Amino acid sequence: MEPMMIAAITGARDRAIDPALYDHVRAAVRAYIDKTTGIQTLVQMRGLVHLVRQFRCVDENDILDEHGYKKLYNQDLMNMVDSRMDRLRRGQRTVEDFTINGAVPFLHALHQRGVMLYLASGTDQADVEREAEALGYRALFGERIYGAVGDITKEAKRMVLERILSAICNEAPERIVAFGDGPVEIRETHKRGGYTVGVASDEIRRYGLAPQKRRRLIEAGADLVIPDFSASAPLLNLLFGG
């Protein structure tokens, strides 16, 4: 998302730009992405439109709307995903190369304990399902995978929480545990009385703590913050007792 947004703001998708301008734009983009992690891509692209206008590097007639920028983003994203999936199929990479340390085994551990798993994402529904299938955890969620449907009024994460609360008759919200690296799922679960685990992981290395993420998740109301899932045994003991 970062390079795509920088190119959209500067109008320099295929050419070099002034280093000072690049640094300024990159700082603004990183701050915006950091603030909006976890919300629908379409909503993020609406914010991008405002950033493009703010920097005034692109002629008004050339500025796209949120749907246009989302299309560009999805093209870049799918190119990257297709490349990764191809390497995965060829055996050149493993699932561990594309997931946060210990995340998939932790999902299996929850499933084995009878936990009903839900997956909610701001990414488009079909893409979320395809990734879950490719990385081998699709079956753990059954039909409980929710992604964006192209309607900014239908926030997948809020919809999932409301569905869970309805299923348990709103009588035991403490039975809900939300894991996430964005403030949306943490905030929405926290205010409904559920337990929240913020995952403040370094996404480049796929393990270890990202301090900026940690601060954002604590501010959103995280009850616990972890760097990754490498310490799954004590985490499971904390959640289930014993």
* Strand 224-226 relative to strand 195-199, pairing: parallel
Query: Model confidence over 98-138: pLDDT tens digits?
Result: 999 999 999 999 999 999 999 988 788 888 898 899 899 99
Region 137-144: what's the mean pLDDT?
93
CB 100 within 8 Å of CB 201: yes
Question: Tokens representing 90?
Answer: 């060829």
Q: Is the model's pTM score more than 0.85?
A: no
CB 227 within 8 Å of CB 200: yes
Task: Pick the most confident of 38-47, 51-60, 120-129, 203-212.
Answer: 51-60
Average pLDDT along the chain = 88
If we measure between CA atoms, which residue out of 46, 35, 39, 43 comes closest to residue 185?
39
The CA-atom distances, in angstroms, between 36 and each of 30, 46, 181, 182, 238 are 10, 11, 11, 8, 29
Checking if the pLDDT of 84 tops 90, the result is no
Lowest mean pLDDT among 13-22, 60-69, 131-140, 211-220: 13-22
In the chain, the largest separation of any two C-alpha atoms, in whole Å, equals 62
Region 223-238: what's the mean pLDDT?
96
Instruction: Burial-class residue 242 by CB neighbours within 10 Å (0-12, 13-18, 19+).
Output: exposed
